[in-house]
Amino acid sequence: MTPMAAEDSERIEGDWRERLRAQGYRLTPQRELILAAVERLEHATPDEIFAEVSAQSTAINISTVYRTLEVLEELGLVRHLHLSDRAPTYHSVHGGPAHFHLSCRNCGQVISVGEERAAEFVGRLRAEAGFEADVAHLTIFGVHVPHCPQPGSEEPHGHDD
């Protein structure tokens, strides 16, 4: 139907600069670099994003990273969630299907689960508690069962909390 929707993420990607300006914001190289870093890293803390960007270009300031992530999240380009106690981790919004996370306290591995697996639960919360859950932000802590595959391996994610 839609004339040219080859890659939806492409469309969105090519659109954000306009949206940004439409909201009265300005397109700066820092913002481009930071958004690109978030997409490249998939799941990263402000600190990791700062390091990634610094490695790429001439260092930008850490406070710019914080301020930019705030703007990007406001624009709906990135989202954050908590894979561990400390530090929120940011990820690009148009990075695949919606999912939530399971964080294992034993091995630290973070598992992504398609949101459809929570559909019924979410529906129940909506019906019984009048609450619309933000599944994409959800991180569930627990442990692998019957036992962790390889304690202390897998993703280099944090594993506290």
Binding site for DNA (CB under 7 A): 20-21, 24-31, 45-47, 59-64, 66-68, 70-71, 86-88
User: For 42-124, where are the E strands, in sequence order?
Assistant: 78-81, 89-92, 99-104, 110-114
Q: How far apart are CA 148 and CA 161, in angstroms?
A: 17
Does 71 bind a second copy (CB under 8 A)? Our answer is no
Pick the piece of the chain touching a second copy (CB under 8 A) from 12-20, 31-39, 70-78, 98-106: 98-106
- Closer residue to a second copy, CB minimum distance, 3 or 120: 120
> What is the spatial distance between Cα 156 and Cα 110, in angstroms, rounded to a whole number?
9
Tokens of residue 33, six digits: 């670099």
Q: What is the distance, to the nearest Å, from the Cα of residue 20 to the centroid of all Cα atoms in its chain?
A: 19
**Residues of span 132-151 touching a second copy by CB under 8 A:** 132-134, 137-138, 140-146
Q: What number of chain residues touch a second copy (CB under 8 A)?
A: 32
Q: Which is nearer to DNA, 35 or 135 (CB)?
A: 35
Tell me the DSSP string of 3-46: TT-S-HHHHHHHHHHHHHHHTT----HHHHHHHHHHHHHSSB-H
**Contact residues for a second copy (CB under 8 A)?**
82, 85, 88, 102, 104-105, 111, 113, 117-118, 120-121, 124-126, 128-134, 137-138, 140-146, 161
